[in-house]
Amino acid sequence: MSRTLLVTGGNRGIGLAIVKGLAQTQEDTILLGCRNLDQGNKLANEIGSNVNAVELDLSNQEVLKKNIESIQSQYSIDVLVNNAGVLDSGNLLEVSFEGILNSTQINTLAPIQLIQAFAPKMIEKGYGRIVNISSGWGSFGEGLTGPFAYSTSKAFLNGVTKSGAQSLPANVKMNSMCPGWVRTDMGGPDATLSPEEGAETAIWLSNLPEEGPTGKFFRAKEEISW
């Protein structure tokens, strides 16, 4: 079966590595979600003929709604990778309220909006995979030790996975994952993993077989604690 896979924040970092990895399967169409369509088109052309750039700005509900409608007019999404994310720094007392709203919008509310938009068609078709790129900093089990807005928005995203997967049929799977500490603009130059290594678990979850897991949290393809 040839599939259409959408990766948010596909223009750099882990998202770009996910797009490149998924594009190895020639019969699939990969949609590189990005805010700057000129940059996205250039990247898509470089990667391969099965990659197309689509405009996807997660900053605001109305703009995202228009972006989603434009995608739906051209494509039927089988796999959604919620990768785009931001890291607002500071603890509860330091971070601005705007920073909390921004993190929650991009890291959690926009993924929910995308899931609500694309999951019904997956259910209708009897096939779907949703991958929510979270973080160990969003794990209660690991102590929620990251910056406040980041940790809480990723914990919320994990809640979306755990609670939301229960509303989906078994053939539409939704999982969370932590990519590890990855050398990107967000992770910085000292991080231990390359973007390609950080993308591996997301690619694996995008390609889960019928008997694969749903409603779980992974790192390096191993289940981890919420």
Ligand X SMILES: NC(=O)c1ccc[n+]([C@@H]2O[C@H](COP(=O)([O-])OP(=O)(O)OC[C@H]3O[C@@H](n4cnc5c(N)ncnc54)[C@H](OP(=O)(O)O)[C@@H]3O)[C@@H](O)[C@H]2O)c1
Catalytic residue list:
150
| Stretch in the footprint of ligand X (CB under 6 A) among 8-16, 41-49, 68-76, 115-123 | 8-16
User: For residues 5 and 178, which CB has a smaller minimum distance to ligand X in the complex?
Assistant: 178
Of 45 and 59, nearer to ligand X (C-beta) is 59
Measured CA to CA, the distance from residue 51 to residue 44 in angstroms comes to 5
- What are the helix (H) ranges across 23-133? 37-47, 61-74, 97-104, 110-125
Question: Which of 44, 70, 46, 45 minimizes the C-alpha distance to 57?
Answer: 70
Residue 83 interacts with ligand X (CB under 6 A)? yes
Asked if 131 is part of the footprint of ligand X (rule: CB under 6 A), the reply reads no
Give whichever of 86 and 208 is closer to ligand X, judged by the CB atom.
86
Find the binder of ligand X among 6, 9, 53, 118 (CB under 6 A).
9
Q: Can residue 58 be called a binding residue for ligand X (CB under 6 A)?
A: yes
Which residue in 59, 91, 116, 167 binds ligand X (CB under 6 A)? 59
Nearer to ligand X, 37 or 123 (CB): 37
**Residue 29 · residue 4 · CB < 8 Å:** yes
Beta strand 128-133 pairing with 172-178:
parallel
Closest CA to 30 of 13, 11, 38, 39: 11
User: 54 has which bridge partners?
Assistant: 33
Residue 30: what residue type? I
For position 21 contacting ligand X by CB under 6 A, the verdict is no
Q: What angle do CA 142, 146, 147 make, to 5 degrees?
A: 155
- Judged by CB, which is closer to ligand X: 84, or 168? 84
Closest of 11, 132, 30, 112 to residue 68, by C-alpha: 112
Token digits for 10? 């596909």
Binding flags for ligand X, 136-175, as an x/- string (CB under 6 A): ----------------------------------------
Out of 32, 100, 133, 160, the only residue in the binding site for ligand X (CB under 6 A) is 133
SS3 30: strand
Q: Does 179 bind ligand X (CB under 6 A)?
A: yes
Site residues for ligand X per CB under 6 A: 9, 11-15, 35-36, 56-59, 83-86, 106, 133, 135, 178-179, 181-182, 184-187, 191
